[in-house]
Structure formats: structure tokens, C-alpha cells
Amino acid sequence: MLAITLLVLCAVGTQALDNGLARTPPMGWLIWERFRCNTNCKLDPNNCVSEKLVKEMADRMVEDGYKDVGYEYVNLDDCWSDKERDAQGRLQADPDRFPSGIKSLADYIHSRGLKMGIYGDYGTKTCAGYPGSLGHLQTDAQTFADWGIDMLKLDGCNSNVTTMKKGYPEMTKYLNATGRPILFSCSWPDYERAAKIPINYTLVADNCNIWRNYDDINDSWGSITGIIDYYDKTQDTLVPAAGPGHFNDPDMIVVGDQGINVNQANAQMAMWSIFAAPLLMSNDLRNIQPVYRDILQNKEVIRINQDPAGKMGKRVLTFGSNVEVWHRPLHQYQEWAVVILNKDTKPQTVSFMLSQLGFTAWGYEIREVLTHTELGHYGIYLPVNFTAPPMGATMLYAYTSS
């Protein structure tokens, strides 16, 4: 009896995602927010969704220092495929825009020391109307593995959301069965939220490496703060779900796009690092001003994002309706990241004691990591003032030497 129970338990155990990936939040580039479903290569040959564009981004990632600081995935999104499956029922790339095929593109990306991500959809069609994986989950998992894919984003348009709790774990099983470690990015909880179906984050975290929970980002401050507000509101559910191997995904980094300024860009990097969120840039790495490149490559912020404990941070204080203090525990004893987020259009100075953040050592050394400034030693029971720039953030790294 015991043996049978153990066997059953083992069989169930292997259903969970077991790929060893995303021990820290994945970093890379994702085509969607910046390039969308631009398939018109005749009119716009340099910006259409094509192997040329993806190769150019892989080159920039290597040659402009992104790879050196940790960005590694180069990811397609919707609109890469042909409108029809091939004669064997497999997905195939659009032949005009990907004349060499996806396997060859993955080989190129691997030859540059990077990894490749692709996009599919759990329903009958993708959000943009390309073939979906419903009824083909196993074939598609195998096709992606055969091509050498390293990450799969499985969207949820055109599907029956009530079946996702069963269907996404099925895909997990098929991905596991390929034997190729493929980081699994699920849109499942976002669709459940929208359909007002209760989300079981334990199940999600067992089956997905990262998962979307909220609306699509666009390159505007309103979109960024909308996502932050949702994370604020739901933090008690989201924080326990995150950890090494499984992270919440508030969507792409839009730093370097044209809709946000420097303060806002710093704030997005800071908050996504407090969230222990994936850093998947969606921008045009061929045309990016140095100031934004520096923000994307800020090693002090990336170090916080990539902290090995993989704990997600939370909001701990608010000042009026526009200033919030967030913190994230890091892996060393008494080591913290803190963000003072200012949504106001004017600079704001706030005053608080470190003890109010739950800090318990006598004193901390503090560094501001967006401007790389040493601020000095602070006790926990004296009020300290911090000024955050308009529609921006101040990010502190606090540690104790005692």
C-alpha cells in the first residue's frame, strides 16, 4: 500500500515544472511592446517582425554590453508564425519574414551566447489571430524543443478560461517530457483575474516559471503606475507566490522607448527590482540614448533584482496619495532594498525612521543606487529625510556591517 502511495505521489510530483530555470528573474529582450504585430516588411523593412530584426537585437545585446550585465533571452512574441500549420500539423514560421526558419534563428542566437524565446497561445488562435495550440499542445511543445527554444510565453486569447487550471499544467507536462529545459511563461492568472475566477497561485507557481497577472504594459507612466497599483493592492497574495524558480511578471521594461522620461525609467527599473520581476526589455536597442542604456545596465539595481533569495518586496509606508515606500529583503542578514516612489509631479521629501520599515539592527550603511551615491550611516530611531524626484524614485541599498 505504502509503495503504491509513493508511486502515485512520485507520478503526481513529476507533473510540476521541473526545469531548474529562473532561479533568479529572467532577463532579456521581448519584441512585443515596441514592435507589436508589424508584419509589413515591404513598407517598414527595418521594424517588421522578422528574423532580421531579431538578429539585429541579439547583436546589440552582445555588442552594447547588455549580455555582460545579465540580459540573455531574445524573445519573439505574437505574429511570428504562418497563418497555417504545416502538413504534419506543426507550427511554422512566416516564410517571407523568417526565410531561414526558427531553428536557424535559434542557432544564431545561441551562437551569440544568448537564449531564444517564442510565443504561443493556449486557445484556438493567438491574440493577433495566428494559429493557437489548443488540441496541439504536445506537438507544439516538441516542435519548440526541436527548434532549440529556451523560453515559451503561452498566452490565453480565444480560449475557455475555466479550463486553464487543467490545460496549462498539461503544457507543463509536455514541456517536461521534451527533456529540454524551457522556461515557461504563463498568462493564465491574468486571464483568470479578468474573468473573475479565483487564482490558485500555488498551482501556478508549481507549473510556471513566470506568470502575468495584469494588463499589458505600454510605454507610458500611467501604464507603469497602473501596474504598480495593482501589485500594491494584491501584494499579500503575490508576495508569497514568488521565489527562486517562480516569479510574478508585471510585464515588459519600457525603458528606452519614447513615452517615458529618465525619472520614470529609473522608477520602473527600481520597482521591477523590488518586485523580483523579470527584466524583459521591449525597446529598439539599435536606437537608444546612452542615458537609458545606463539605466538598463545599472549593475547596482540589477544586483538587487537578481538577489539569490528571490523574495518579492512590498509596500510598507505611504505619505498622502502620491508617495510610497517599498522594501525588499535581500539574502544577507539585515540587507535590504528600499524604494521611495513619488507619483507626484513635484519632488517630494518624506521623513521616517528606519525602524518604521521593520529594520532591527542598530544602524545601517545606505547607498542610493540610481545615482550611485554613498549616503552614510543611519540609526534606526532617528527620523531621516529622503527626497524623491517627480514621477520617479529614490532607491536605497541598506546593509549593516555589524
Beta bridge partners of 393: 341
User: CA–CA separation, 53 vs 97, rounded Å?
Assistant: 10
- What are the Cα distances from residue 363, in Å, to 340, 377, 401? 19, 7, 9
How many residues belong to the chain?
A: 402
Q: Which of 18, 216, 232, 344 is the catalytic position?
A: 216
Chain centroid to CA 277: 5
Segment interacting with ligand GLA, rule: CB under 6 A, options 54-62, 120-128, 239-247, 323-331: 120-128
Q: Give me the helices (H) in 36-136, please.
A: 51-63, 101-111
- The least CB distance from residue 257 to ligand GLA, in Å, is 15
Instruction: State the binding string over 148-187 for ligand GLA (x if CB under 6 A, else -).
Output: -------x-------------------------------x
- Beta carbons of 257 and 34 less than 8 angstroms apart: yes
Nearer to ligand GLA, 27 or 338 (CB): 27
Which of 150, 155, 251, 284 is an active site residue? 155
Region binding ligand GLA by CB under 6 A among candidate stretches 83-91, 100-108, 124-132, 333-341: 124-132
Query: Does residue 48 bind ligand GLA (CB under 6 A)?
Result: no
CA 251/CA 57 separation, integer angstroms: 19
Decide: helix, strand or coil at residue 160. coil
Nearest to 338 by CA among 300, 295, 395: 395
Hey, what amino acid is at 89? G
Q: Mark whether 82 is an active-site residue.
A: no
Query: If binding means CB under 6 A, how many residues of this protein chain bind ligand GLA?
Result: 9
- Single residue of 78, 94, 219, 284 touching ligand GLA by CB under 6 A: 78
> Per CB under 6 A, which region of 126-134, 161-169, 219-227, 228-236 contacts ligand GLA?
126-134
- Interface positions, 340-359, toward ligand GLA (CB under 6 A): none
Identify the burial level of 109 via C-beta atoms within 10 angstroms of its C-beta, where 0-12 means exposed, 13-18 middle and 19 or more buried.
buried
Binding status of residue 216 toward ligand GLA by CB under 6 A: yes
Q: Are strands 373-379 and 363-368 parallel, antiparallel or unpaired?
A: antiparallel
Residue 118 binding ligand GLA, by CB under 6 A: no
| Least CB distance to ligand GLA at residue 215 (A) | 8
Footprint on residues 183-212 left by ligand GLA (CB under 6 A): 187
Residues that bind ligand GLA (CB under 6 A): 32, 77-78, 126-128, 155, 187, 216
Would you please indicate which residues are annotated as catalytic (active-site) residues? Answer: 155, 216
